[in-house]
Amino acid sequence: MKRILLTIVCAVALSLGAWAQVDEVVAKINKDGVWQPRAYYLKNMEKADDFIAQVYDSNEGRLKYVLYEIEEDHVWAQKILQTKKDILGKTKKKKKQNKKLAKFFNDVEQARQSFAQAEETEKCYAHLTKVLNGFIDNGVSHSMPSGALKSFYFSSGNGFAGFYEEFSLMKKDGKNILGIKSVKRMHIPEDKGEVERQIEVDDSVLQRVRDMVEEGMLYDVSREYSPEMMITDATSWSMSIYFEGGSINSSGYAAGPDHSDTLNSILKYLSELAGIEE
């Protein structure tokens, strides 16, 4: 008898949990409309394959971050598909299905489109996780270019926030020239809002920057960084570092790069050399 009662209690608890999830999904779709994944490359297989084509220019840290980010979309897709199953059960005919769906959703067509998107998202998720984990297992990384440093360039800016900065270190007319430009338009007095400076530096500066790149693994970066969801009015940046035996090129918008602490240390070092306060 106790075993029967325990079984009934467990069944009721599971049922309540399932319908709590149904309520969550229904409320979200009724409020937001057709469900869409946050990650654009989980919308359809074409976008997923477009993203995979960029994997060769990514590093392990970037790929692990992507796997972490898409997990939330995967969980929501599963919830939506389970909700479809809980509401429709074994009902096959579309007319009867619509009657059941209408008891929960304000717009039956929005619900059906959400189910379809969740199914497509799960296909993309399975495809992406298999490919990305394969790259990670086989070791995705980049090596330090050989030879001396020839030039270093970094710029970043945000038009909405009103700032732009540019750092360059290169040989010019047989001299090592460090150039820094900083423009800040908001909340800064006009006479302090723009700084531009060029100074000549020793070969030791280029060697120091090269050492910082190698020791801080700044060479192990992806070619491009961008968020998994749409963001407007964010900061964009670009970095190019050339050596005798190769180069490092990377850029991004609202994301990245890996080893940013190393990059910030280099920029701080160069600013101090030029006598510019942060």
d(CA 265, CA 230): 29
Supply angle C-alpha 251, 254, 260, rounded to 5. 60
In this prediction, residue 7 carries a pLDDT of 38
Predicted confidence at residue 72, as pLDDT, reads: 94
User: Please, what is the Cα angle at 217 between 154 and 142, to 5 degrees?
Assistant: 95
Residues 114, 34 contacting (CB under 8 angstroms): yes
What pLDDT is recorded for position 186? 58
- For residues 195 and 276, is the Cβ–Cβ distance under 8 A? yes
pLDDT, residue 148, reads 93
Contacts 24+ apart (CB under 8 A), 99-103: none
Q: What is the pLDDT of residue 66?
A: 87
The 10 Å Cβ neighbour count of residue 53 is 8
The C-alpha atoms of residue 78 and residue 84 are separated, in whole angstroms, by: 10
- The pLDDT of residue 135: 79
Q: Which two tokens stand for residue 27?
A: 């409320």
To which H or E segment does residue 253 belong? strand 236-253
For every one of its 278 residues, what pLDDT tens digit does the chain have, with 9 covering 90 and above? 544 444 343 334 345 557 789 999 999 999 999 999 999 899 999 999 888 877 767 777 788 888 998 999 999 999 999 999 999 999 999 999 999 999 999 999 999 999 999 999 999 999 999 988 887 877 666 789 999 999 999 999 987 777 899 999 998 888 999 999 988 765 555 555 688 899 999 999 999 999 999 999 999 888 888 776 667 778 899 999 999 998 898 998 888 788 999 999 999 999 999 988 65
Going by C-alpha positions, the residue among 165, 182, 155, 159 that lies closest to residue 233 is 159
